[in-house]
């Protein structure tokens, strides 16, 4: 059950209708991520996935950063997961790093991309390295005018090991991703919009109002059809046309025979706005 409150490195609040707002809340560390943070976030996303009442997940940061990526400062900190028991973090040798990435770090972005519910990043400040890849894994991205986005892993001699290279290729193509990553580019919000990394740029003080406006628009749409369409869109990016046709044909009966479809047709005939998601209101 999703409960509002503070977890490891972030806090949760719930806005109507069914909008889970996740705010990264360690501004003094530029919302740097740790393994306990990632495990609490993955568990939270699993809960969001399995609760019908959750319609949209909105991520944002506090202070000057959305997230400056993994916390590599080396400074000691009290940081323990509040949702799952402690686990060995790996990274003690070559195979440990491989396992740590696959089992503890990469699941954050796979959980975000795997959500059937739509997700939004409200990028309030710097989004670097894993902070950037997390934002790119969401379905919609709105940037404050003062935000800055980049990978910057090569500045430390590191790799974008949580899927950043894949997400950038999807958005920029191979040539664009090559330029962005190899030249260690960090771009402002307007350049991010020009490149296609974000959908919209707003003034800093308008960011959360606009993000919540978009979240409510999405949350009031027909949730069954939207969740299935999200999956089909991401599947289509990796399928042939014939496979994509078969995939969406298999999903269509769940939509065609759902009460939201009946309501949509009735509203069209009656020349009124549809009232979707009654099935959620009665649960």
The tens-digit pLDDT sequence of the chain (283 residues) is 789 999 999 999 999 999 999 999 999 999 999 999 999 999 999 999 999 999 999 999 999 999 999 986 655 566 788 899 888 888 899 999 999 999 999 999 999 999 999 999 999 999 999 999 999 999 999 999 999 999 989 998 999 989 999 999 999 999 999 999 999 999 999 999 999 999 999 999 999 999 999 999 999 999 999 999 999 999 999 999 999 999 999 999 999 999 999 999 999 999 999 999 999 987 5
The pLDDT score that the predictor gives to residue 89 is: 83
Triad 146, 193, 68: Cα angle to 5°: 50
Instruction: Choose among 205, 163, 207, 155: nearest CA to 185.
Output: 155
The pLDDT score that the predictor gives to residue 88 is: 87
The pLDDT score that the predictor gives to residue 256 is: 96
The pLDDT score that the predictor gives to residue 111 is: 97
In 10 A of CB 95, how many CB atoms? 9
The pLDDT score that the predictor gives to residue 187 is: 98
> All domains of the chain, ordered by start, with CATH?
5-219 (3.90.226.10), 223-281 (1.10.12.10)
Secondary-structure percent of the chain, ordered helix, strand, coil, rounded to 5: 50, 15, 35
Question: Counting beta carbons within 10 angstroms of the beta carbon of residue 83, is it exposed (0 to 12), middle (13 to 18) or buried (19 or more)?
Answer: middle
Say how far apart CA 149 and CA 136 lie, in whole Å: 10
Give the global pTM.
Answer: 0.95
């Amino acid at each position: 059950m999703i409960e509002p409150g503070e977890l490891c490195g972030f806090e949760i609040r719930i806005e109507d209708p069914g909008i889970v707002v996740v705010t990264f809340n360690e501004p003094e560390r530029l919302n740097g991520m740790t393994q306990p943070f990632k495990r609490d976030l993955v568990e939270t996303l699993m809960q969001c996935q399995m609760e019908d009442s959750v319609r949209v997940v909105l991520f944002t940061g506090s202070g000057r950063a959305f997230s400056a990526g993994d916390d590599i400062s080396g400074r000691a900190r009290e940081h323990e997961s509040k949702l799952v028991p402690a686990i060995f973090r790996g990274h003690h040798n070559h195979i440990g790093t491989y396992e740590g990435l696959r089992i503890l770090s990469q699941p954050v972005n796979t959980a975000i991309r795997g959500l059937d519910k739509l997700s939004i990043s409200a990028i309030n400040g710097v989004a670097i390295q894993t902070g950037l890849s997390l934002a790119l894994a969401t379905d919609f991205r709105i940037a404050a005018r003062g935000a800055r986005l980049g990978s910057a892993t090569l500045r430390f001699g590191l790799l974008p090991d949580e899927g950043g290279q894949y997400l950038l290729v999807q958005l920029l193509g191979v040539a664009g991703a090559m330029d962005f990553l190899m030249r260690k580019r960090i771009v402002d919000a307007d350049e991010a919009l020009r490149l296609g990394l974000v959908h919209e740029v707003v003034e800093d003080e308008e960011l959360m109002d606009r993000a919540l406006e978009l979240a409510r628009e999405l949350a009031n749409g027909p949730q069954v059809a939207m969740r299935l369409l999200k999956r089909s869109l991401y599947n289509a990016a990796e399928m042939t046309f014939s496979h994509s046709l078969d995939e969406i044909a298999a999903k269509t009966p769940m939509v065609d025979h759902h009460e939201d479809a009946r309501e949509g047709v009735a509203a069209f005939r009656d020349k009124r706005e549809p009232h979707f998601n009654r099935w959620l209101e009665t649960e």
